[in-house]
Amino acid sequence: MDVTVSSRNVDLTDALRGAAEEKIGRLDRYLDGMERAEVHFFEERNPRIADKDVCEVTMSGHGHHVRAKVAASDPFAAVDAAVSKLEHQLHKLKTKLVSRSHPRRRAEPPAAALADPGPGDDLPLLPPEDELELPEDDDGIRIVKSKRFMMKPMTPEEAVLQMELLGHSFYFFSNAQTGRCAVVYWRAAGDVGLIDEAG
């Protein structure tokens, strides 16, 4: 697995880079096909936050993305915490992939889990602030970040899994069942909503 390490406001020593490359690089033994990992260190500026050192890792391969963002008292502890979180997520992904290849073992999700939102349902939550990169003192609304990506057709259940693995509050995807764009999102009640493009 190709591991790249970067930092912002953190002294990226050879020891820290080596620890990140070694520990994150070993995670490919949990799931075949993970090709790349991006590790990014940065420091929280809020003086009220005790765990200032943040390690953010995004792993990808074969159309799957797994993400972990953790904070600790020092960057080495943050790497260890990220590895622990990623191990859990990779195990969860592998379990889902195995159950998909053995349909008799798979339990169907409850129908309510992917119910269309009603008029009174809550809208999807916004992504984390670090994803939005909003300016601190902007008095107007403007787009400050955009992303373009290839969308592999997938089922709503697969999209929910990707949303969980990335730690996002919503996931935009191409619905393999309808051939149209769709979004799954966490509802305030704790279950999942599905918004499908009308045909």
Report the range out of 44-53, 106-115, 127-136, 152-161 with the highest average pLDDT: 152-161
Which superfamily is assigned to 2-103 in CATH?
A: Ribosome hibernation promotion factor-like (3.30.160.100)
124 close to 172: Cβ distance less than 8 angstroms = no
Q: How confident is the model at residue 145 (pLDDT cuts 50, 70, 90)?
A: confident
Q: What mean pLDDT comes out for the span 48-61?
A: 88
Domain with CATH 3.30.505.50 in the chain: 110-196
In whole angstroms, how far apart are CA 32 and each of 59, 60, 192? 12, 11, 29
Q: How confident is the model at residue 119 (pLDDT cuts 50, 70, 90)?
A: very low
Tally of CB atoms within 10 A around 164: 18
Of residues 68, 71, 69, 72, the one with CA closest to residue 86: 68
In whole angstroms, how far apart are CA 46 and each of 69, 79, 147? 17, 21, 28
What CATH class has 110-196?
Answer: alpha beta
Of residues 157, 132, 160, 162, the one with CA closest to residue 146: 132
Residue 111 has pLDDT above 50, yes or no: no
Structure tokens that stand for 6 in this block:
């970067």
Greater pLDDT, 132 or 178 = 178
Percentage of the residues of the chain whose pLDDT score is greater than 90: 28
Greater pLDDT, 29 or 7 = 7
CA atoms within 13 A on the CB side of 82: 35
Tally of CB atoms within 10 A around 19: 17
Quote the pLDDT of residue 100: 63
Quote the pLDDT of residue 115: 43
Q: Specify the DSSP class assigned to residue 183.
A: E
Residue 91 has pLDDT above 50, yes or no: yes
5 close to 17: Cβ distance less than 8 angstroms = yes
Domain with CATH 3.30.160.100 in the chain: 2-103
Longest dimension (CA), the chain: 55
Q: What mean pLDDT comes out for the span 105-134?
A: 41
Partners of 195 in the β-ladder: 183
